[in-house]
């Protein structure tokens, strides 16, 4: 379709090196063809042009002092994409790979993901090329304080509400929140993922992983299947992977893999969750430590990965949960999963599968839950944290978890029905993208030319 081609060319011209952003825009816009053809109001109102160019892009320098007294300089940013249905909302990523293209792809995805949660949240994302790995608590604190020294003027409980993402967990949110409070003299729900003593929500830590498994359960239920007793593969070993594994084990499934930037573990009797939590949440070590503790587990370092494949996806499984990072699962990996009988892929990470891998899953008609639907549980419970902060009432674990389950079920039903409505039954990429887009685009039209 001409309009879609025009938009994809436009962003390539305007932002030539932002490859991940090009990929995210291509994936979304391609699947919008049926709704754009059916209603020309979106093209008439230049909705895609207004969606791919963020409302605001803020870039800043972050200067801090390391433990040796040396001055360090990083780059920070916050990209506020769209606030038609609520305050900008999305995480902060601290990782050396962070660049404007990565934050743009994440912020763009967040618009549609947040719309799917049924809650009032717009889309945004931010981050820095700072690497928290190997830094002392004092260094992380000084970096977070310096980052907030600039960010605080752009955010607010009704304006823009950041949270965590890769490299930003409870510790970082604590230091960021403390500095915000110090600078503004306000105790606002301006960040989510806070600790329970000072405004955090129960289930927020578990939410992305639990939600991703709930989404898989819903996809499988429709086909009369479940996860009990099934072998599952999981990539990553951060917050998303850990709580995906926890929920899988609660349901009687057997997750057998984990990975990090240095290598992967295959533990065929099932991952030892207590050991994993100890290594990653307490000691902040690499997975080599897991292999040292568990002699039966097989450890493959990244240096031994062959032919551009990710070995996690070559372990036979019933269901796969990519929970590490973008583009960690390519066409070869997708083919191996299908060949080995995989029936379900539920994405805990953002855009973990390449576009050709996604096409492979859709053509094979397996249960495929794209990240912006399957991993929306994290930001959904962030929305519930905002609701608790606004009413100054904390909710119980059971109640919050029930709300999370309900939201994941609603996202699945919405995506699945929308796919049917546009003659793409079973295609949750089309369903999720159109459902998220329609809510935001119609709200933009309601509110005039802005």
Does 379 engage in binding with ligand GLU (CB under 6 A)? yes
Residues 380-409 binding ligand GLU (CB under 6 A) are 382
Q: How far apart are CA 132 and CA 4, in angstroms?
A: 39
* CA 274-279-283 angle, 5° bins: 125
If one asks whether residue 192 binds ligand GLU (CB under 6 A), the answer comes out as: yes
244 binds ligand GLU (CB under 6 A): no
Nearer to ligand GLU, 149 or 192 (CB): 192
User: Counting Cβ atoms within 10 Å, is residue 120 exposed (0-12), middle (13-18) or buried (19+)?
Assistant: middle
Closest-by-Cβ residue to ligand GLU is: 91
Q: Which of 376, 409, 406, 417 is nearest to 123 (CA)?
A: 376
Stretch in the footprint of ligand GLU (CB under 6 A) among 27-35, 49-57, 84-92, 279-287: 84-92
Buried b (16+ CB within 10 A) or exposed e, 300-319: beeeeeeeebbbbbbbebbb
Nearer to ligand GLU, 90 or 189 (CB): 90
Residue 43 or 172: the one with the smaller Cβ distance to ligand GLU is 172
Q: How far is the CB of 121 from ligand GLU (least distance, A)?
A: 8
Q: What is the spatial order of strands in the sheet that 257-260 belongs to?
A: 257-260, 263-266, 298-301
Task: State yes or no: residue 205 binds ligand GLU (CB under 6 A).
Answer: no
Strands 71-82 and 263-266: unpaired
The piece of 217-225, 259-267, 293-301, 378-386 that touches ligand GLU (CB under 6 A) is: 378-386
Q: Residue 116 corresponds to which tokens in the numbers above? A: 């799917």
Cα end-to-end span (Å), the chain: 25
Based on CB atoms, which residue is closest to ligand GLU, 253 or 379? 379
Judged by CB under 6 A, the residue of 86, 122, 370, 378 near ligand GLU is: 378
- Compute CA distances 367 → 220, 225, 426, whole Å: 7, 11, 8
CB contact at 8 A, 240 and 272 = no
Minimum distance of ligand GLU from residue 325's CB (angstroms): 11
Q: How far is the CB of 324 from ligand GLU (least distance, A)?
A: 13
The secondary structure of residue 396, as a DSSP letter, is P
Q: Does 350 bind ligand GLU (CB under 6 A)?
A: yes
Least gap, CB of 177 to ligand GLU (angstroms) = 14
Does 165 participate in binding ligand GLU (rule CB under 6 A)? yes
Segment interacting with ligand GLU, rule: CB under 6 A, options 65-73, 86-94, 308-316, 330-338 = 86-94
Q: Is 74 helix (H, G, I), strand (E, B) or coil?
A: strand
The distance of closest approach from Cβ of residue 90 to ligand GLU in the complex, given in angstroms and rounded to an integer, is 5
How do beta strands 254-255 and 231-234 pair? parallel
DSSP 261: T
Map tokens 């609603």 to a residue.
Answer: 410
Using rule CB under 6 A, residue 89 touches ligand GLU: yes
Stretch that binds ligand GLU, among 32-40, 257-265, 314-322, 376-384 (CB under 6 A): 376-384
Query: CB under 6 A: which stretch of 47-55, 87-95, 126-134, 340-348 binds ligand GLU?
Result: 87-95
Tokens at 317, concatenated: 């499984």
Q: Which of 104, 113, 125, 247 is catalytic?
A: 125
Least distance from C-beta 162 to ligand GLU, angstroms?
A: 7
Tokens describing residue 25: 């825009």
Q: Is 135 a catalytic residue?
A: no
Closer to ligand GLU by Cβ: residue 27 or 165: 165
**Hunting for tokens 């379709």 — which residue is that?**
1
CA-CA-CA-CA torsion sign (217, 223, 228, 233) = negative
The count of chain residues that interact with ligand GLU, using the rule CB under 6 A, is 10
Of the candidate spans 73-81, 89-97, 283-291, 314-322, the one that interacts with ligand GLU by CB under 6 A turns out to be 89-97
Q: Measure CA 313 to chain center.
A: 19
Q: Contact with ligand GLU (CB under 6 A): which of 91, 263, 369, 370?
A: 91
Interface with ligand GLU, residue 90, by CB under 6 A: yes
SS3 of 138-184: the string is HHHHHHHHHHHHHHHHHCECCCEEEECECCECHHHHHHHHHHHHHHH
Nearest to 374 by CA among 238, 251, 217: 217
Which residue lies nearer to ligand GLU by CB, 8 or 159? Answer: 159
Judged by CB, which is closer to ligand GLU: 16, or 96?
A: 96
Q: Is 229 exposed, middle or buried (0-12, 13-18, 19+ CB in 10 A)?
A: exposed
Binding flag, residue 436, ligand GLU (CB under 6 A):
no
Which of 306, 339, 342 lies closest to 321, judged by CA?
A: 342
Of residues 169 and 263, the one with the C-beta less far from ligand GLU: 169
Rounded to whole angstroms, the Cα distance separating 137 from 175 reads 10
Comparison of 22 and 93: residue with beta carbon closer to ligand GLU: 93
Q: Which residues are catalytic?
A: 125
* Residue ranges in contact with ligand GLU by CB under 6 A: 89-91, 163, 165, 192, 350, 378-379, 382
């Amino acid at each position: 379709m001409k309009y879609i081609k025009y938009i994809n060319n436009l962003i390539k011209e305007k932002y030539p090196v932002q490859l991940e952003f090009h990929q995210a825009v291509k994936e979304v816009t391609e699947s919008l063809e049926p709704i754009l053809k059916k209603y020309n109001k979106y093209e008439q109102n230049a909705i895609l042009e207004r969606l791919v160019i963020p409302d605001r892009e803020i870039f800043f320098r972050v200067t801090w002092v390391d433990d040796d007294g040396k001055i360090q300089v990083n780059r920070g940013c916050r990209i506020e994409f769209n606030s038609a249905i609520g305050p900008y909302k999305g995480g902060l990523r601290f990782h050396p790979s962070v660049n404007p293209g990565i934050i743009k792809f994440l912020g763009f995805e967040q618009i549609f993901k947040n719309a799917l949660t049924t809650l009032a949240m717009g889309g945004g994302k931010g981050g820095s090329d700072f690497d928290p790995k190997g830094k002392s608590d004092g260094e992380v604190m000084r970096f977070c304080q310096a980052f907030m020294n600039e960010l605080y003027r752009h955010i607010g409980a009704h304006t823009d509400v950041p949270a965590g993402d890769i490299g930003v967990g409870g510790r970082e949110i604590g230091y960021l929140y403390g500095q915000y409070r110090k600078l503004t003299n306000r105790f606002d729900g301006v960040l989510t993922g806070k600790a329970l003593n000072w405004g955090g929500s129960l289930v927020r830590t578990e939410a992305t992983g639990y939600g991703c498994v709930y989404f898989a359960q819903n996809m499988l239920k429709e086909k009369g299947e479940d996860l009990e007793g099934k072998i599952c593969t999981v990539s990553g070993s951060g917050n998303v992977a850990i709580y995906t594994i926890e929920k899988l084990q609660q349901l009687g499934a057997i997750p057998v893999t984990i990975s990090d930037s240095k290598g992967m573990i295959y533990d065929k009797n099932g991952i030892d969750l207590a050991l994993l939590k100890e290594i990653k949440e307490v000691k902040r070590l690499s997975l080599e430590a897991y292999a040292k503790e568990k002699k039966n587990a097989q450890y493959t370092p990244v240096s031994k990965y062959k032919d551009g494949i990710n070995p996690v996806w070559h372990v036979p499984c019933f269901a796969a949960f990519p929970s590490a990072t973008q583009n960690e699962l390519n066409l070869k990996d997708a083919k191996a999963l299908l060949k080995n009988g995989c029936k379900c892929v539920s994405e805990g990470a953002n855009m973990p599968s390449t576009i050709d891998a996604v096409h492979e899953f859709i053509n094979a008609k397996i249960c495929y839950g794209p990240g912006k639907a399957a991993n929306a549980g994290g930001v959904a419970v962030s929305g519930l944290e905002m609701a608790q902060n606004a009413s100054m009432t904390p909710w119980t674990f059971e109640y919050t978890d029930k709300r999370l389950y309900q939201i994941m079920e609603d996202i699945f039903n919405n995506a699945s029905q929308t796919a049917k409505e546009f003659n793409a039954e079973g295609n949750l990429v089309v369903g999720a993208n159109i459902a998220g887009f329609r809510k935001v685009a119609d709200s933009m039209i309601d509110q005039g030319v802005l």
